[in-house]
Amino acid sequence: MLVIMDPRATEAEIARVKERIKELGYQAHPIPGANQLAIGVTGNQGTEDRIYLEGLPGVVQVIRVTKPYKLASRDTKPENTIVDVRGVKFGAGNIVMIAGPCAVESREQTLRIAQLVADRGALMLRGGAYKPRTSPYAFQGMGEQGLEILAEAREKTGLPVVTEVVDPADAPLVAQYADMLQIGTRNMQNFTLLKEVGKLGLPVLMKRGMSANLDETLMSIEYLMSHGSKAVVVCERGVRTFGNHSRNTLDVSIIPAFKRVSHLPIIVDPSHAGGHRYSVVPLALAGVGAGADGLLVDVHDDPDHALVDGPQALLPDDFKELMAVLGRIAEALGKSLGSPPAVDSERS
Ligand code: PEP
Ligand code: MN
């Protein structure tokens, strides 16, 4: 259900509606709009529940949301949501570049690459301190030490940091260091993890499961949002198909389909989609052409010795070239690449 409040509704009237929702045993999710407040209601079972809210002062209308995903749906919030990560805005008609190594391998490697991508126009830094690896014998990430290194890289470059949470138990720790929490493709339906990450309230970058359809993707966002996330960005990173020429198949068709039904931003990861350096730039451009609000790209200055995913990492010069081409494409699309947030060592 969606409760539409009168633009002139008083604080007391709004508080009363929220209280009533709670009394009914449901959860209230205030959704500020351009002109008026809407309050999403989750947990309700039947349409007749509407009558308990319809007569309250300040309520204009109570609408039934028929989709199984409510908070992620455009039915609930028709206008686009702008996700703000320490001043970097997703979904504001721009193309946000997030770049960095696949994994934090050492302090020197991460600080070096962070500076390289910052100098070339990235707005955010990526890098995994906890790595979900197919092999239990492969490098699993530096853990908390890796998080400390990412925080130092943020301090030095001013770039906000996105990093993956693999285990629900680590989520509060990762949240102490990161500006945005990443859910990996393998964990998109790890509902315990989604609930824990949702509760932390930080912006989330949720990767689409490698075999998840649109509805499943939306339901996972719903897990995050119903537990507290207000700001979720989805990332298309390729799905499993019969093709064996690339690591995954980048499904650009999900971008317009997603935007049609959801108000949230969607970005593309061409690195994990293609799996080869030569395909990263073409896939990045395809994503942007299909309407992506940003890109997540692996960059490494010594990919032959990278501990994770070296073959798909762009070299610093490739990355510079990608930014130059993107600048021209952004202009043609009437979008911008944005400028980096001011260097600020304090987290807000
Ligand atoms: C990553 O971005 O570091 C990653 C592991 O990607 P994915 O979850 O898409 O495989
Ligand atoms: Mn990777």
User: Is 73 close to ligand 1, i.e. is its CB under 6 Å away?
Assistant: no
User: Is 208 close to ligand 1, i.e. is its CB under 6 Å away?
Assistant: no
* Predicted TM-score (pTM) of this structure: 0.93
Report which ligand 1 atom has the smallest distance to the Cα of 308. Answer: 3
Residue 154 has pLDDT above 80, yes or no: yes
Report which ligand 1 atom has the smallest distance to the Cα of 298. Answer: 2
Shortest-distance Cα residue to atom 4 of ligand 1 = 184
Residue 80 has pLDDT above 70, yes or no: yes
Shortest-distance Cα residue to atom 5 of ligand 1 = 184
Residue 345 has pLDDT above 50, yes or no: no
* Distance separating alpha carbons of residues 137 and 296, to the nearest angstrom: 26
Task: Show the beta-strand stretches assigned E in the chain.
Answer: 2-5, 27-32, 37-42, 59-63, 83-85, 88-90, 96-100, 124-126, 161-164, 180-183, 204-207, 232-236, 266-268, 294-298
The ligand minimizing its distance to the Cα of 297 is 1
Residue 261 has pLDDT above 60, yes or no: yes
For residue 34, count CB atoms less than 10 angstroms from its CB and return exposed for 0-12, middle for 13-18, buried for 19 or more.
exposed
Using CA atoms, how far residue 249 sits from 93, 100, 217, 274, 283, in Å, is: 26, 22, 17, 7, 10
Mean pLDDT of the chain: 95
Using CA atoms, how far residue 61 sits from 37, 51, 57, 302, 324, in Å, is: 12, 10, 11, 59, 49
| Residue located via tokens 């790595």 | 131
Residue 347 has pLDDT above 80, yes or no: no
- Spacing, Cα 254 to ligand 2 middle (Å): 21
Report the range of poorest mean pLDDT among 35-39, 105-109, 243-247: 35-39
Tokens for 309, please give them: 């995913």
Report the range of poorest mean pLDDT among 27-41, 77-91, 113-127, 208-222: 27-41
Q: Verify that 161 and 273 share a domain, yes or no.
A: yes
Report the range of poorest mean pLDDT among 49-53, 105-109, 303-307, 337-341: 337-341
- Spacing, Cα 173 to ligand 2 middle (Å): 21
User: Is 207 close to ligand 1, i.e. is its CB under 6 Å away?
Assistant: yes
Size of the chain, expressed as the number of residues it contains: 348
Q: Verify that 126 and 255 share a domain, yes or no.
A: yes
- Spacing, Cα 339 to ligand 2 middle (Å): 26
Q: Verify that 35 and 101 share a domain, yes or no.
A: no
The ligand minimizing its distance to the Cα of 127 is 1
pLDDT in tens, 320-339: 999 999 999 999 999 999 87
Q: How confident is the model at residue 222 (pLDDT cuts 50, 70, 90)?
A: very high
162 occurs within a structural domain: yes
70 occurs within a structural domain: no
Q: Verify that 14 and 138 share a domain, yes or no.
A: no
273 occurs within a structural domain: yes
Q: What is the pLDDT of residue 273?
A: 98
User: Is 77 close to ligand 1, i.e. is its CB under 6 Å away?
Assistant: no
Domain count, the chain: 2
* Domain containing residue 29: 2-63
**Which CATH number do you get for residue 268?**
3.20.20.70
Q: What is the pLDDT of residue 341?
A: 66
